[in-house]
Amino acid sequence: MSEKQEDRNPFKGSFGNLENLVDKISDVLRCPVTIEDANHNLLAYSSHDERTDSARIATIIGRKVPERVVNKLWKNGVIPKLAQSEDPIRVSEITEVGLSNRIAISIRAKNEIIGYIWVLEIDKTLSERDFDMLKKAAETAKSQLLQLQVRKVKKEEGHQEFFWQLLTGHLSTQSEVHERFQRLNIKPPTPFYIIVFEFSHEISLTAERHIADLISVSPQLQTPLHVIDENNVIILCSPFSDKYVKFSTSEFINNFIVQIKKRFRNTEVIAGCGKMYSAFEKIEASYQEALTVLRLKNQFSEDLNETYHFDQLGIYRYLELLSEKNLEDKYFNSSLLKLREYDSEHNTHLVETLNVFLQYDSNVNDAAKQLHVHTNTLNYRLKRISEVGDIDLKCPNEKISLFLDMKLEKLQKNIL
Amino acid sequence: MSEKQEDRNPFKGSFGNLENLVDKISDVLRCPVTIEDANHNLLAYSSHDERTDSARIATIIGRKVPERVVNKLWKNGVIPKLAQSEDPIRVSEITEVGLSNRIAISIRAKNEIIGYIWVLEIDKTLSERDFDMLKKAAETAKSQLLQLQVRKVKKEEGHQEFFWQLLTGHLSTQSEVHERFQRLNIKPPTPFYIIVFEFSHEISLTAERHIADLISVSPQLQTPLHVIDENNVIILCSPFSDKYVKFSTSEFINNFIVQIKKRFRNTEVIAGCGKMYSAFEKIEASYQEALTVLRLKNQFSEDLNETYHFDQLGIYRYLELLSEKNLEDKYFNSSLLKLREYDSEHNTHLVETLNVFLQYDSNVNDAAKQLHVHTNTLNYRLKRISEVGDIDLKCPNEKISLFLDMKLEKLQKNIL
DNA sequence: AAGTCCTTTGTGATAATTAACAAAAGGGCT
DNA sequence: AGCCCTTTTGTTAATTATCACAAAGGACTT
């Protein structure tokens, strides 16, 4: 550091305690300031100022940043960014969790994060010079924190934060993950997979407690980590034994949903489950798969009513994309068009018949039952379908195309 | 027009004949210039200059722009653009047809195009001022052309140009199309469809004549229009009767290919056929469909060997897109993975067995024959597949997913 | 070399599917 | 009403598919 810069550093020297430092930062930047440790526990906050936002109030009251604020910051990448950079980072307003515009910087010693400084941009926007100031403040905060020996209070404290790191893929090495599991006294769960429950309403505090109970006592699965995120409950699961994985998972899911519905009427819950993996860097993948299941279940609610596992999605993973393509190409299935024309001319139900027939895996008996007609009737119709639509019902390509195209038409009807 | 502008107009007054005008334009712009009528017949060309390109030489020799140059200009949208705009349009070099950089402008009377002026940018690039000059030249050319009564020579002359207009969707109204057909003494072919033959080599002049004979004498179909475009022969077809459309089309296609292969050894020919329509604005769609067939036939040559009609493509229309999605998602089919692992551990052929089984529409007998194993063997394997891969072979969604995913894996192998 | 596990093939009984035909029912038309 | 055409249903015989069980062959282990 050059002499000139040192002269301009208002944070030079000792402040005795963190409260003095935080007030000094607040004076210099003319904004409310908060200092946290690496686990988002409140260490100090500027007091001259009553301008503030609800997240800050909650943090000061609870002496800790609320979990859902931390979760959000993980999800939108703010905390990972802070972990990478030594520079201040601007965070735009996030009204859902009561965060107004603010600036954050990490306090770090030897590349390890030991805390954060938060500056609220309530009615002033920080300049480049302010950013420099903040960097100097972080430097001073570093020595203060080291003196306080807050280093001991390492990141391992929060289960939730650790889980978010796993879910967002921000833990790089296998060994690091293992270490973290050990520190939390959790046997590393392998193999594992992610289950996400999506609630129709936001999850209340009462519900949170109930959910935590439900998860902790589950006899079917190990559930070492879980977190609540707006309407979703995200759970890291591991089977007790290699056998019956599917069975115990569906037991767990069904039980969970039944219990929730019993306790909270008018609440709808659906579940999505990612693939099972053994390498921890795949936690993110499994989480994303679970979210995909939920998205598609909302879109194809009838068809996927009984489905919760990513592996069971099958063609439904593909339909959205294909629907877009067909709209673009102005594609229509010639056979279905002919059948539709025939249907409307002769008051028949060839399309519906074909649909059910294919749905029941080309089994004449089952399809006939479903259609409430005689087997011979169905056979007669199939012959008709074959003639009218110019369809070879023994050709997999044709059958699959028809199956898909009918699903796609239905999807497009739903969207319009 | 203001007096000033008129003063600056070097094309004012009478030039006596087009040759004088074209030389004047060439003098002013210092570039080679050509004037054509609406059918691309040569009317006049500047002579002071031996700088030129091969397309211009061919045009002057033949007193007409070569068909393949005109086709190219239709396909890449230059002629449609000239039809819309009164301003000069810059055309970048098209080496395939021997066109160097040039500027074109339409000569029009009452919104009707009666000719074109072409300016070669051989070693000079035209300025904005030159463009203005060219517009004035077009104005003068207009009165000259009108005097020559070239208006009589309307666009109707060229079959090929008309066909390109249809193929590229540049004829707007049904009635206009009907009129044009009548002028060419062609009974408007409805319903119609497009067949495209793709040759492995560029089509020689000898081949062109042979192809024209083959098409004109076809007993299966009406073929009022056709055009040769690089390696492709594009044909507008219409069935003689509503019945046996499919049959006569495949007869025609097979005959064509056999004849070509007999005459030209070492030449491979594949055919693609678009959907049948009745409204002429759909010619473009049918053409594009035929091209899609050809594209996919090149990609899935084994599977689509016997396929030529767009309606028969089925799932193959979708595979490219799905392959991209799966690569992006890093998707893999869990069941197939398990089966593969089992196969390599136990030297079995479960994946291949499943593939054939699904290919043969879940028919145990046919699949067993294809696999050269006993029916019971196949049944045993299917039971194994069901257990190992955790697959329900009665569930259409699962079966279709497996079918698709196996095709997609194969596609990805081919690409890599 | 014997034993084990997995796979393949053969046999035959049983169940299920398909095909052929006849009768009946319904809808539209004159 | 009577006719024609299409659709539905019932009956039966012929054909296929499915299943259980036994035997045999291969690969690998001990």
pLDDT tens-digit readout, B285-327: 999 999 999 999 999 999 999 999 999 999 999 999 999 999 9
- Counting Cα atoms < 13 Å in the Cβ hemisphere of B130 gives 21
CA distance A285 to A193: 9
Q: For position A159, what pLDDT does the model report? A: 79
Mean residue pLDDT of chain B comes to 87
Chain A residues 315-374, Cβ below 7 A from strand D:
342, 346, 348-349, 373-374
| B315: nearest CA partner in chain A | A401
Q: Hey, are the CB atoms on B315 and A401 less than 8 Å from each other?
A: yes
* Confidence band for B162, pLDDT divided at 50, 70 and 90: confident
The percentage of chain B sitting over the pLDDT mark of 70, rounded to a whole number, equals 95
Residue of A nearest to B355 (CA): A396
- DSSP codes, A348-398: --HHHHHHHHHHTTT-HHHHHHHHTS-HHHHHHHHHHHHHHTT--TT-HHH
**Quick one: pLDDT at residue B3?**
45
Tokens at B321, concatenated:
């897109």
Confidence of residue A175 (pLDDT cuts 50, 70, 90): confident
- Residue B227: other Cβ atoms inside 10 A: 20
* pLDDT at A190 exceeding the cut of 80: yes
Q: What pLDDT does residue A376 have?
A: 93
CB contact at 8 A, B220 and B244: no
What pLDDT score was predicted for residue A157?
52
Distances (CA, A) of B110 to B152, B179, B279: 14, 20, 29
pLDDT higher than 50, residue B151:
no
Region of A239 please: left (phi>0), alpha (psi -120 to 50) or beta: beta
For tokens 């229309």, the residue is B317
Question: At residue A102, does pLDDT exceed 50?
Answer: yes
Q: Give the rounded percent of residues in chain A with a pLDDT score beyond 90.
A: 48
**The tokens 């596609």 sit on which residue?**
B411
Tell me the pLDDT tens digit for each residue of A237-290.
999 887 788 889 999 999 999 999 998 988 999 999 999 999 999 999 999 999
Please, which positions of strand D sit below 7 A from a protein CB?
Answer: 6-11, 16-21, 27-28
Query: Cβ contacts (< 8 Å) between B311 and chain A: which residues?
Result: 334-335
pLDDT at A108 over 80: yes
Dihedral sign from CA coordinates of A199, A211, A258, A168: positive
Distance of CA B25 to the CA centre of its chain: 36
Neighbours of A200 (CB within 10 A): 11
> Cβ contact (<8 Å) for A396 and B390?
no
In chain B, % of residues over pLDDT 90: 47
* pLDDT of the residue at A388: 92
* Coil/strand/helix, residue A91: strand
Confidence band, pLDDT 50/70/90 cuts, at residue B154: very low
CB atoms closer than 10 angstroms to residue B42 = 17
Instruction: Name chain B contacts of A322, Cβ cutoff 8 Å.
Output: 318, 321-322
**pLDDT, tens digit, for every residue of B208-228?**
888 988 888 788 898 999 988
Reply yes or no on whether the pLDDT at B56 is more than 90: no
Per-residue pLDDT, averaged over B272-279, amounts to: 95
Distances (CA, A) of A42 to A19, A60, A62, A73: 11, 7, 8, 16
Q: For residue A3, name the pLDDT band (cuts at 50, 70, 90).
A: very low
Q: Sheet containing A112-120: which strands, arranged edge to edge?
A: A42-45, A33-37, A112-120, A102-109, A89-91
What is the model's pLDDT at position B382? 95
Question: Smallest CA–CA separation between B73 and chain A, in Å?
Answer: 25
> What pLDDT band is residue B187 in, cutting at 50, 70 and 90?
confident
Determine the distance in angstroms separating the CA of B394 from the nearest CA of chain A, rounded to an integer.
6
Average pLDDT, chain A: 88
Search chain A and give the residue with CA nearest B391.
Answer: A312
- B389-399 average pLDDT score: 94
Specify which of A179-193, A393-407, B128-142 reaches the highest per-range mean pLDDT: A393-407
Yes or no, beta carbons of B363 and A404 under 8 Å apart? no
Between the CA of residue B121 and those of B33, B66, B92, B118, what are the distances in Å? 10, 20, 10, 10
b/e code B385-396 from CB counts within 10 Å (16+ = b):
beebbebebeeb
Which amino acid is present at A171? L
**pLDDT of amino acid B157:** 52
Collect all residues of chain A within an 8 Å Cβ-Cβ radius of residue B315: 397, 400-401, 404
Q: How far apart are CA B66 and CA A292, in angstroms?
A: 56
- Cβ-defined contact of B397 to A334 (cutoff 8 Å): no
The tokens for B272 are 């693609």
Contact A328, B283 (CB under 8 A): no
List all nucleotides in chain C with at least one atom under 7 A from a protein Cβ.
6-11, 16-21, 27-28
CA gap B354, B381 in Å, rounded: 9
Query: What is the reported pLDDT for B233?
Result: 95
pLDDT in the model for residue A49: 67
Q: What pLDDT, on a 0 to 100 scale, did the predictor assign at position A149? A: 60
Q: How far apart are CA A221 and CA B303, in angstroms?
A: 46
CA of A183, C1' of C18: distance in angstroms: 67
Inter-chain residue contact B396 with A403, CB threshold 8 Å: yes
pLDDT, greater one: A395 or A68: A395
pLDDT of residue B98: 86
pLDDT digits (tens, 9 = 90+) for B110-129: 777 888 999 998 878 889 99
- Does the CB of A143 fall within 7 Å of any strand D atom? no
Q: Are A362 and B362 an interchain contact pair (Cβ–Cβ within 8 Å)?
A: yes
Question: CA of A364, closest CA in chain B: separation in Å?
Answer: 13
Q: What's residue A151's pLDDT?
A: 44
> Which residue's CA lies closest to nucleotide D11 at its C1' atom?
A376
Confidence of residue A314 (pLDDT cuts 50, 70, 90): very high
Using one digit for the tens of pLDDT, what is the confidence trace for B77-93? 888 888 888 899 999 98
pLDDT score, position B155: 42
Residue B65 has what pLDDT? 86
Q: Is 90 exceeded by the pLDDT of residue A389? A: yes
**Is the predicted pLDDT of residue A344 greater than 70, yes or no?**
yes
Q: How far is A201 from chain B (nearest CA, A)?
A: 30
Chain A contact probe: residue of B315, B356, B358, B395 with most A CBs at under 10 A: B315
A-chain residues near B401 (CB < 8 A): 314-315
CB contact under 8 A, A325 and B318: yes
Q: Cβ of B315 and A275 within 8 Å?
A: no
Residue B393 CB closer than 7 angstroms to strand D? no
B382 versus A174: which is more confidently predicted?
Answer: B382
Distance of CA B367 to the CA centre of its chain: 39
| Most confidently modeled range among A27-41, B178-192, B386-400 | B386-400
φ/ψ (deg, to 5) at B220: -90, -35
pLDDT at residue A65, rounded to an integer: 87
The answer to whether residue B182 scores a pLDDT higher than 80 is yes
Coil, strand, or helix at residue B383? helix
Residue A240 contacts residue A222 (beta carbons within 8 Å): yes
Instruction: Give the CA angle between residues A330, A335, A341 to the nearest 5°.
Output: 90
Answer whether any strand D atom is within 7 A of the Cβ of A147: no
Half-sphere CA count of A328, side-chain side, radius 13 A? 8
B198 φ, ψ (degrees, to nearest 5): -110, 125
Please state, in angstroms and rounded to a whole number, the distance separating the CA atoms of residues A74 and A55.
Answer: 15
Structure tokens at A194: 């992610």
Lowest mean per-residue pLDDT among A222-226, B155-159, B343-347: B155-159
Output the pLDDT for position B5: 47
**Strand D lies under 7 A from the Cβ of residue A377:** yes
- Mean pLDDT is highest, among A141-155, A233-247, A339-353, for A339-353
Nearest DNA or RNA nucleotide to B378 (CA to C1'): C8
Let me know: does A408 contact A414? Beta carbons within 8 Å: no
List the single range of A55-59, A399-403, B368-372 with lowest mean pLDDT: A55-59
Decide which of B150 and B231 is more confident: B231
Q: Do A316 and B397 touch (CB under 8 A)?
A: yes
- Of the pLDDT bands very low, low, confident and very high (cuts 50, 70, 90), residue B186 is confident
Nearest nt by C1' to A364 Cα: C17
